[in-house]
Amino acid sequence: MISLIVILPFLSALLMALVYLSNTELKRYTFYTTLGIGVPAISTLLSFIAGFELLNGGATIHYTLFEWINVGDFNISLAFMADRLSVVMVSFITLIGTLIHIYAAGYMKDDPAYGKFFSYFNLFMGSMLLLVLADNPIMMFVGWELVGLSSYLLIGFYHTESSNVKAANKAFILNRVGDFGFIMAISLLFVSLEGTGFTFDSIEANISQINHGVLTLIGVLLFVGAMGKSAQIPLYVWLPDAMAGPTPVSALIHAATMVTAGVYMVARYSFLYIEIPDIGLFIATIGAASALFAAIIASYQSDIKKILAYSTMSQLGYMFIAVGLGAYSSGIFHVFTHAFFKALLFMGAGAVIIALHHEQNIFKMGGLKRDLRLVYITMFIATLAISGIPPFAGFFSKDAILVTAFATEHYFIWGVGSLTAMLTAFYMFRLLFSVFHAKPKSELEVHSVPTSMTYPLVLLAFGSATAGFLGVNEAYGGSSWFNSFLALPDITLHLSHSTEYMLGGLNVVLGLLGMGLAYKMFAHDSKEAESNTMFKKLAINKFFIDEIYEFIIVKPLLLLSNLIAKVIDPRIFDGFINFNVWGYTVSAKLFSKLQNGKVRFYALYILVGVSAMSLYLLFKLEALS
Amino acid sequence: MTPDMFFLLASLLFSIGLVGLISRRNLFILYMSIELMLSSINLLLATFSKVLGDPSGSVIALLMIAVIAAEAALFLAMIIHLYRNNRTVDSDNFIELREDKVND
């Protein structure tokens, strides 16, 4: 049954691709919509059934589809594993994925390549499910790569514009850098396990036989992979550019699939990371740096989707703080709640963009709260949730992470996290107020938004408001149900309730502070940030990171390849071959001179040849000595 | 009389024939050079036959004289034919075997 969760999206992607290719002109709206939404819905249902099975105390579900590679010790099956962690992941991926599919049916309605889009979309979801449900690192890697591929296809979906293709390439290439780390890590893991089985279960059982140094290296390399997929410093630059794809794609990348893969992977290898807390601290530091860095950039952006992209990066930073410090469940919990409100934010942004006929600059919008009431209300809920205002989902998950940082006495990370929380509230409300409250700059013509795009928003708003209650911890009267269900090797925290109240209260105060600041600056009259100070100039230009990468990596590489293409290859390699060819031509001309057709010369050659042979024979027979 | 004299004579005849073949262009001279070389071989055969006391060498020599006679008729006929076609007996005129393209 769990194999069907993964296989069905792949099958429908294949079917839709074939049907689409058979005639690309035909619309076939009903067919693609039914299949494209139906299959994710079935997957959702199946994953809920699997989830309930585990919820009722069922054991981890294993299912082997077939044996894939079997060479000596190297024994890889196409097998799936649904333990508590993957069941949670799968459930919300399929649920939110399905909602995004429904939304996409409205968003992409008039696109001529509707069938292709849904084929890619299902492929994307299937790849992510394969990644999550994989039973061994190899299968996970296959899913990991497929996610990279389908994100590439979807980011470059509007491929007639070269900047979009460039963005897709950027995402793909940066992900390859991360993949390199991933594949090195699993190779190293396989070698050091010396053939004691290569499923997650057996790796966990035999992890102690690997020495600490190797384990550290594996941990770092795995995290390099996570950096690429989950857009952390320094491999994050693809994420803002990935906004080139259609908005449902951004929603899917940021909420349900792709970027959460890195966090999931660290949680999946939690048995490995608890052995190497130093690397965990490194991960948390990178996470904190990414969180703050992205929040600062987001505060100065004016493209609605770019703001959301940086906000995702920032929230992913939080998740890495959690998993880095050993609070794996809190990390996954934030993935879970984040999926709801980030999907909602992207879909709301998409609705606004559609309504304003593809306007993306928030400062050219304004006063939309009357025309787009439903979108406004749902986005308001999502914004409250991401800003960590109780009782919305984001408060509980973000609070759990900051409490972890505080309780493990990493005060610096905690401080950065709290500062980021304030910035988060600031830039999110900046977006909300600019779009919905501020006076419009010009008379805006508002198109109607199809209902298939608004109903998912309501469902997600409900999720954003309530998903947090699943993981309410003891201090707030809950029992951390989510964490205890996951049963990951979390660190235990010792913190009095009063301290927790204080930390939670501080978060709320910081959130409200950011909100108030945004209200003061943007609610009535929104203005784009001016680059009048040094810092603002840096932040508006995203700290020139793209330019720096261009300068230190892209330019030298281009120079090198130019050098090879224009000098080394034609001069040295071709030169060597051409020299040989020249030699043959010249010697052939010389030898052909001998062939002059005159019989006496031929007789001479015979004389020379016979003489030479005779001399040789005489010499050999030692008749001359 | 030692057989060495015969060997020397045969070698001399052969060498004269060979040098003639290489240095002269008249087809008749070439023909005569070839005949000279053949004769030297015949002489060698006869000599060895005598030295070793084996008559088969002499038999082959006699047989060869017959073959050479037939060959002479054929050769002269070919030379006449070539002369009729080209009005010359200079061997350097007959260069159809030359590699034309690369040579110029």
pLDDT per residue as tens digits for the range B35-49: 999 999 999 999 999
pLDDT at A360: 85
- Cβ count within 10 A of residue A211: 9
Q: Is the pLDDT of residue B93 over 90?
A: no
With CA atoms as reference, report the closest residue to A98 among A485, A455, A466, A462.
Answer: A455
Q: Is the pTM of this model over 0.95?
A: no
Q: For testing the chain A interface, which of B30, B96, B97, B104 should be mutated: the one with the most A CBs within 10 Å?
A: B97
pLDDT confidence tier of residue B99, bands split at 50, 70 and 90? low
Of B21, B30, B103, the CB nearest to A596: B103
Burial A391-405 (b: 16+ CB within 10 A, else e): ebbbbbbbbbbbbbb
Reported as a single tens digit per residue, the pLDDT across A190-239 is 888 877 778 888 888 888 888 888 999 999 999 999 998 998 888 888 88
Say how far apart CA A197 and CA A274 lie, in whole Å: 21
- What residues contact residue A153 under an 8 Å CB cut-off, 6+ apart? A120, A123, A168
Q: Which of A592, A600, A604 lies nearest to residue B91, judging by beta carbons? A: A600
Taking CB atoms and an 8 Å cutoff, what residues of chain B touch A592? 99, 102-103
- Stretches where chain A sits below pLDDT 50 are none
Largest CA distance in chain A: 118
The neighbour count for residue A9, using CB atoms within 10 Å, is 27
Rounded to an integer, what distance in angstroms lies between the CA atom of residue A239 and that of residue A166? 13
> Two tokens at B9?
């004579």
Q: Do B97 and A597 touch (CB under 8 A)?
A: yes
Q: What is the pLDDT of residue A486?
A: 83
Residues 6+ positions from A140 with CB-CB distance below 8 Å: A131, A134, A265, A268
Alpha-carbon distance of A324 to A139, in angstroms, equals 24
Residues of A in contact with B94 (CB under 8 A): 597, 599
Gap from B61 CA to chain A (nearest CA, Å): 23
Nearest to A598 among B18, B23, B91 (CB): B91
- The answer, for B104 touching chain A at a CB cutoff of 8 Å, is no
CA distance A170 to chain B (A): 56
Helices then strands (H, E): number in chain A?
A: 26, 2
User: Under an 8 Å CB criterion, which residues of A touch B?
Assistant: 588-589, 592-593, 595-600, 603-604, 607
* Residues in contact with A325: Cβ distance below 8 Å, sequence separation at least 6, in sequence order: A280, A281, A284, A404, A405, A408, A410, A413, A491
Of B18, B91, B98, the CB nearest to A595: B98
Q: Is B4 on the interface with A (CB under 8 A)?
A: no
pLDDT at residue number A321: 93
Q: Which of A588, A592, A596 sits opposite B95 (nearest CB)?
A: A596
Q: Tell me the nearest-neighbour CA distance from B29 into chain A, angstroms.
A: 12
Judged by phi (left if over 0) then psi (alpha if -120 to 50, else beta), residue A81 lies in beta
Check residue A243 and report its DSSP letter.
Answer: G
**Contact residues on chain B for A593, CB-CB shorter than 8 A:** 103
pLDDT at B103: 44
Q: Which residues of B touch A611 (CB under 8 A)?
A: none
Note the helical H segments in B1-104.
Answer: 3-23, 27-52, 56-86, 100-103
CB contact under 8 A, B23 and A599: no
ipTM: 0.80
Q: What number of other Cβ atoms are within 10 A of residue A4's Cβ? A: 15
What pLDDT does A61 receive? 87
> Is B98's Cβ below 8 Å from some Cβ in A?
yes
Q: Which ranges in A552-598 belong to alpha helices (H)?
A: 555-563, 574-594
CB pairs under 8 A between A and B: 41
